[in-house]
Structure 1
Amino acid sequence: MNPIDQLAALFDGPGAEDYLGEAVTQAEHMRQAGALAEAAGAPDELVAAALLHDVGHFHGALSGHDLMAGTDNRHGDSGAAWLAQWFGPAVTEPVRLHVAAKRYLCAVDPGYQARLSPASVHTLGVQGGPMTEDEAREFEGNPHHAEAVALRRWDDEAKDPEAKTPGFDHFRPLLTRLLENR
């Protein structure tokens, strides 16, 4: 199966399940994030990262259900590692860093944590809580930190059960253009 069809199968299969305490499915959440990035005029690589940011819930030793049960599934890392077989760092690094970006924003943006959904507040605690000042400075030194923060903000907004969101096929041409290892 080609990579795009593998991704589509994730959206149609495990992605069709509930999104860990949110009012949308996991696939709806990821498609909403991709659509928000696209509407913001983000580069193709960042649109793809927003669309694919949570695939690690399906590709790792631990699932998203483990995360909700209190064990960090490190889904940013596992998702980025899996996606790296097809996409470059401009896609995979924001995916890898999107959890760190949540921790970062909680540390540097007064009021950010209060805007998180209850499920996201729960996972924040499992994922290490807000960053320390030293961790925040180190995060800011990462060349992909700004993209990860942008992705994180779309991630937080992408939980609207009323949103009209394009299907996965809308993103196929963009993903196909970005494939590095066909």
Structure 2
Amino acid sequence: MVDGKTKCIDEEIGALFESRGGSLYGGEGVTQLEHALQAADLAERQGASSELIAAALLHDIGHLLHDLPDDAPDRGVDDAHEYLGAAWLAARFPPAVLEPVRMHVASKRYLCAAEPGYWDSLSEPSKVSLTLQGGPMSADECSAFRAGPHCRACLAVRRWDDLAKVAGLETPPLTHFLEHVRRAALGAPAPA
């Protein structure tokens, strides 16, 4: 059953991706929509909850909410998209969706500090943006990050984010993932 709240969320998200999702994803070979769909598809294939699939789909929604050019990081501008996206989602979703969106950049910073070889695995645009986002975390920042209640979920979304940059990869359409968005917004469990 789709109530008025979730129908509105579907429409808002659909409209954002329709109007802005065709823009390039920060120097990568995919669009914002392709990146979002690939991340959500990876989450779904790994059996993630509807909240995590929604977070994977929406982790970069902040890029669709500002008017900065696609090459803003190349110009030395951090768009703070993780905070913009989390603020937009706050009235629509529970913390299980919000926190991985808000913390996916912090997760990159954490992994660069905590996991040998992670930095080398990043794409060039992701390395450029990392510098603007504060670079690898300090030891104290890493400890605080690990202590967070959503640490594992945030790291999962980050890893799907890193992998969701394959040009020409076929995924289910946005409408397929909107069922997870509805479930996450309502706090309903995913079907077995």
TM-score if structure 2 supplies the norm length? 0.89
- Cα deviation, 1:98-156, whole Å, max 9, x if unaligned, reads 00000000001100000100000000001000011111011111101111111000000
Give distance in 1, aligned partners of 2:111 and 2:38. Answer: 21
Q: Once the 2 structures are TM-superposed, how far is the Cα of residue 65 of structure 1 from its aligned partner?
A: 4.1
- Write out aligned runs for 1:39-58 (5 A): 39-58=45-64
Does residue 139 of the first structure (1) align with residue 159 of the second (2)?
no
- Cα deviation, 1:4-48, whole Å, max 9, x if unaligned, reads 111011112211111110000011001100000000111110010
Which of residues 93, 102, 123 in structure 2 aligns to 1:87? 93
- Write out aligned runs for 1:45-84 (5 A): 45-60=51-66, 65-84=71-90
Query: Is the alpha carbon distance of 1:62 and 1:134 closer, same or farther for their aligned partners in structure 2, counting shifts above 3 Å?
Result: farther
| Structure 2: tracts of 5 or more residues without a match | 1-6, 188-192
Query: Is the alpha carbon distance of 1:20 and 1:133 closer, same or farther for their aligned partners in structure 2, counting shifts above 3 Å?
Result: same
Q: Once the 2 structures are TM-superposed, how far is the Cα of residue 66 of structure 1 from its aligned partner?
A: 3.0
User: 1:10 maps to which residue?
Assistant: 16
The range that moved more, 138-147 or 57-66, is 57-66
Query: Is the alpha carbon distance of 1:49 and 1:68 closer, same or farther for their aligned partners in structure 2, counting shifts above 3 Å?
Result: farther
Percent identity over paired residues: 48
Query: Is the alpha carbon distance of 1:56 and 1:110 closer, same or farther for their aligned partners in structure 2, counting shifts above 3 Å?
Result: same
Give distance in 2, aligned partners of 1:64 and 1:99. Answer: 17
Task: Judge conservation of contact 2:51–2:183 (CA < 8 Å) in 1.
Answer: no
Aligned residues: 181
Give distance in 2, aligned partners of 1:171 and 1:162. Answer: 19
Does residue 168 of the first structure (1) align with residue 174 of the second (2)?
yes
Give distance in 2, aligned partners of 1:177 and 1:3. Answer: 11
User: 2:163 maps to which residue?
Assistant: 157
Does residue 107 of the first structure (1) align with residue 128 of the second (2)?
no
TM-score if structure 1 supplies the norm length? 0.94
Q: Tell me which of the two structures has the higher relative contact order, counting C-alpha pairs closer than 8 angstroms and 6 or more residues apart.
A: 2
